[in-house]
Amino acid sequence: MKRLWIVPVLVLFLACVLPVSAEGEGMKVNFTYSGARTYAESAYPFEGKTEAVLTAWKGERLFLKVAVEADSDQAVQISGEPLKSAEGTDEIPVSIGRLEGVTASLGLGENNGLPHETVYDRILSGVQEAELHAGTPSYFWITINTGNAPAGKYEGLISVHAGLDYDLSITVIVTPYSLAEAGMAFDLWQYPYSSLFRYDLIDDSEPFGAAHLAALKQETALYARTGGNRITCTISDEPWAHQTNYDSPSLVKWNRDGSGNLWFDFTAFDAWVELCDSLGINGPIECFSILPYDNALIIYDDMDVPGRVSYAPGTYEWNNAWQSFLFAFTDHMEEKGWLERACLFVDERGISEIGFVKDLLSQVPGAEAIRLGAAINAIPNNIEYYDIFDTISISIGSLPKEEGDLDVFLDHRRELGKETTLYNCSTTFPSAFALSDPAESVWTMLYAASRGFDGFLRWAYNAWPNGLNETADNPHFESGDTFLIYPDERKSEAMKPSWSVRLCMMEQGRNDFIKYQALRKRLSPETAAILETGFERLPRFYGRDNGYGMLTHRSEEERIQMMNEVIRLEALIEKAAAEAAAEQTGISFFQQKEAMGELS
């Protein structure tokens, strides 16, 4: 009896036998690499082909990119029906969107003198047509959602009409395993005020009113579907000293009455957290920041007039202000049932200042339940310095080159039951800029899994610059650095955000991370050791300055090497899944390969 659910997909083997691109009279249609750019040479197994065979777990989304090119100007339409099981009783939905190009600077900032490239990063969901220009390819994005589909083989076609009809074939084999078997911390810092100031339809004097919440719900639903499980909250105004285009006010309004007493309005804070909870984002509530970059607070007097004060950490004024806050915050979070989820998060601040926070928490009854979190840029020689943090995220640009030093730090925190994640952002490599190779995001997640991190963090999810959607440029940072979704047009009534290819690649990497963790628990110790050994072979990549201030691959050969490493480890994960099934059913991996031949 065939057991379709235990069959792995040997991607590299199949890539050698798949048909090449469909070509008619002056027309070319094929799958292509999911990169923002088009490369002359690629290790992508479906490059230039018309068939793709993939494997998936339940709850996973798969992504494919289609290129359509013609010798003359003409219209093109693309469509796809759900993939069907062999019996025709079960289906997997397929959605299609057009990739839209935006310009991106090769350096830092918006200097018009910097060279720019067009990158196809923005995914216009549901847009299935384009006007082809002679010799210039148009790109479409295919998303396949396995959901809770029964294990087995599913097949279907993507149809392209541009004068003539062309078909692309997709086969997906769904295993019985589910992404729900394991998890990871997946944290993309959100900016809930961005849409308030972005859209003309929203009155910016009514934060978290009906229109603002409607826009936020769409943005946050995309975050939830990608796997995001942390909530970003501001508890002081501009905790990052206004690094972003739009304002980042505090979600907690600080007030002072006529007697000089502080009191706090949590209305906006509650609206934001409740929206996230309604979408299934029910992890830690990360509050920024008891140590804002410039130590500033905006406090409203009894006439509702704002005033700015700045209190240095450890001073009497700082201690008095934040102690008042913590008394109110602790009571409020306990009343809402959120106290154990509360995390006071500080970003790139000195350890001496953190000591003041720890002392302050000890002075407030109940505040010991509040977690402490930090993003850090260096691992100290005395690794116990950071023991006070329940969760830490380390910049990928600050990891020690000696892997043993990193292992010591991670082992120490694991023994304490503390969470440690990896992050990337501006001026790091690998990263998720508009011009970053998509393999960088997947590699980053695989590297985090291989080293034993608990998850991943990135700044930022939707801190939009002013020029979107024609350019991804930022006045201060690399193009695309501060956002992973695109907003709708300013005058739009729908206020519908768009995915980016970069966010999809993060999701793919997140899925790989979860599969690795789940399989290590399923496999026998001997087979798990084989999987872990394969992951330990993952090389580090450091990048170089491209001459304009942005880090990129040191060479085209290294770019290909990174992509090959991603393919190798994803194939290893699939083989490990087959081995896990073999250990459970007694059917050998070689028997499964034979079944694979029958299926293909």
- pLDDT given at position 584: 73
Q: What is the dihedral sign for C-alpha 436, 517, 458, 486?
A: positive
Among all chains, which residue has been given the structure tokens 């291989």?
450
**Domain residues of the chain, as ranges?**
230-371
**Closest by alpha carbon to 190, among 14, 345, 4?**
345
Cα 141 from chain centre: 18
How many CB atoms are closer than 10 A to CB 586?
A: 8
Q: Look at residue 19 in the predicted model and tell me its pLDDT.
A: 53
Of 200-204, 299-303, 526-530, where does mean pLDDT reach its minimum? Answer: 526-530
Q: Is the pLDDT of residue 40 over 90?
A: no
DSSP secondary structure string, 121-133?
EEEEET--EEEEB
User: What's the predicted TM-score (pTM) here?
Assistant: 0.93
**pLDDT value of residue 301:** 96
Residue 473's nearest CA partner among 138, 118, 216, 223 is: 118
Q: Is the pLDDT of residue 449 over 90?
A: yes
Q: Which residues contact 16 (CB under 8 A, 6 or more apart)?
A: none
**Which pLDDT score, from 0 to 100, does residue 380 have?**
83
Joined tokens for residue 563: 């992509």
Contact yes or no for 239/248 (Cβ under 8 A)? yes
pLDDT at 3: 32
Which residues, 6 or more positions from 326, have their beta carbon under 8 angstroms from its beta carbon? 360, 361, 364, 367, 370
**Rounded Cα distance, 595 and 335, in Å:** 57
Positive or negative, the CA dihedral 299, 301, 307, 312 is: negative
- To the nearest 10°, report the CA torsion of 483, 489, 491, 496: -80
What's the pLDDT band for 8 if we cut at 50, 70, 90? very low
Contacts of 168 (CB under 8 A, 6+ apart): 22, 29, 30, 31, 50, 51, 52, 66, 157, 158, 159, 160
- Say how far apart CA 436 and CA 117 lie, in whole Å: 12
Summarize pLDDT for 453-478 with one digit per residue, the tens.
Answer: 999 999 999 999 987 878 999 999 99
Q: pLDDT at position 16, please? A: 37
| Alpha carbons 247 and 382: distance in angstroms, whole number | 38
Contact indicator for 434, 119 with CB cutoff of 8 Å: yes
Distance between CA atoms of 395 and 379, rounded to whole angstroms? 10
CA pair distance 482, 458, nearest whole angstrom: 9
Rounded percentage of the chain residues whose pLDDT exceeds 90: 81
User: Which amino acid, one-letter code, is at 74?
Assistant: Q
Element (H, E) at 597: helix 589-599
312-326, 358-372, 378-392: which is most confident:
312-326
Arithmetic mean of pLDDT, 550-565? 93
Query: By C-alpha distance, which of 413, 514, 403, 533 is closest to 456?
Result: 514
160 contacts: CB under 8 Å, gap ≥ 6:
22, 29, 66, 68, 76, 77, 78, 166, 167, 168
CA-CA distance, 4 to 171, in Å (whole number)? 13
Work out the burial of residue 128: count CB atoms within 10 Å of its CB; fewer than 13 is exposed, 13-18 middle, 19 or more buried.
Answer: middle
432 contact partners, CB below 8 Å, separation of at least 6: 424, 440, 441, 458, 480, 481, 484, 502, 505, 506
Average confidence score pLDDT of the chain: 91
Q: What angle do CA 107, 110, 111 make, to 5 degrees?
A: 80
Pick from 230, 294, 176: which is nearest to 461 by CA? 230
Q: Tell me if 174 sits within 8 A of 154, measured CB to CB.
A: yes
The per-residue pLDDT for range 401-424, each reduced to its tens digit, is: 888 899 999 999 999 999 999 999
Query: What's the order of all strands across the beta sheet hosting 296-300?
Result: 262-265, 253-256, 296-300, 306-310
Contact 523, 583 (CB under 8 A): yes
Q: Decide if pLDDT at 2 tops 50.
A: no
CB 550 within 8 A of CB 108: yes
Q: Tokens 């998890």 correspond to what residue?
A: 183
Q: Which two tokens stand for residue 570?
A: 């994803």
State pLDDT tens for residues 190-227: 999 999 999 999 999 999 999 999 999 999 999 999 99
